[in-house]
Amino acid sequence: MQEALLAAARRWPRDGVPEHPHAWLLQAATRRLIDQYRSERSRREREAVATAQECQSPAVSDRDDTLAVLFMCCHPALTPASAIALTLRAVGGLTTVEIARAFLVDEATMAQRISRAKQRIKASGATFRMPTPDERPAAVRSVLHVLYLIFNEGYTAQRAELSDEGIRLVRMTRRLLPDDPEVTGLLALMLLLDARRAARLDNEGDLVPLSEQDRARWDGEPAAEGLALLDEAIRAGAVGEYQLQAAIAAIHNRAARAEDTDWPQINALYGLLEQLSGNPIVTLNRAVAAGMADGPAAGLALLDGLDERLPDNHRVDAVRAHLLEMAGDVEGAVASYRAAARRTTNLAEQRYLTARAAGLAASRAPRAGEERP
């Protein structure tokens, strides 16, 4: 109907308003609906044929081709969302329907996103080739960033099929680049995080923070593999961002209880990671570690200026709320928890933050017959 109205806006000023405008709009909309249905059906048929051909082709002989496709899908000209979708389609082999389902959008929207990504790569003049030695470090960084975003999208939103696909693609990348310690470090990080999957939600589907998770429910097999991969990556000598993040995750995984966590070491590792990356998200995570290691005032001091660097990011409010709660500022913590709940689009996080604010507010309310001090 929107397309029919657009057509009317273009044609009626030129040709005049038809005798029966309502009927004209219905007919135009119906024709466009039929055209869209035929187009989508043809595209699905082409995808089915392409997928069948990909499955029949040998996987051993196309190492360079696979890497070249991966580098192109993670082209810097693309937005992260477009790079993720194109990587899942061209390298992961997922159909447009599967990718759309994972990102909770309709099939037509995802098809347009993938199509625009292809057009942008074509317009950039990128060629199907392996990067030169000078180009390779930047290209690998782009690939790892996109693969991490794929995993993180699934991990944060509790969509296991997407985080599983991220792990699978990094395993494939490691087979193609076995000597790159950052690829190994990223795989270690994903496995260490994914090991906690079963404990991240309670029976009602509500988020359980790391400090309250039942660590007996953590999966020991991926955790053990992640720790072994981390040791292998560190032995390579060149320490990178994903290795440092994996080292932080490993400290959590090695602690039998939350109170056994070595927060001073985590704080130190975040300090190194902050120097290496300059990423404000790292500073935000470091604020939590500093608060746990040196007291809430130390963590709150690190939040100064982050609102400008991370505008509208709900995690800034959530971390501030946590630190204010530790400091005993219940009123400030409640306000920050509520602000974080308003900003997040993740329903599990929203429920957790709202419940946290309500619980603190209730504990602050005076009982019957009592006056608030």
Prediction pTM value: 0.74
pLDDT band at 372 (very low <50, low <70, confident <90, very high): very low
Residue bearing the bigger pLDDT, 59 or 101: 101
DSSP 3-state assignment of 256? coil
Q: What are phi and psi of 33, to 5 degrees?
A: -65, -45
pLDDT band at 48 (very low <50, low <70, confident <90, very high): low
Distances (CA, A) of 121 to 80, 88, 136, 267, 372: 13, 16, 18, 40, 63
Residue bearing the bigger pLDDT, 368 or 314: 314
Of 228, 225, 200, 204, nearest to 212 by C-alpha is 200
Tell me the C-alpha distance between 67 and 61, whole Å.
12
Residue bearing the bigger pLDDT, 34 or 336: 336
Q: How many CB atoms lie within 10 A of CB 17?
A: 11
The DSSP annotation for 329-349 comes to -HHHHHHHHHHHHHH---HHH
Tell me the C-alpha distance between 297 and 149, whole Å.
32
Would you give the DSSP letter of residue 91?
T
| Mean pLDDT of all residues belonging to the chain | 86
Predicted pLDDT at 154: 82
Predicted pLDDT at 303: 94
Whole-number percent of the chain with pLDDT over 90:
44
Highest mean pLDDT among 69-78, 151-160, 345-354: 345-354
Predicted pLDDT at 59: 42
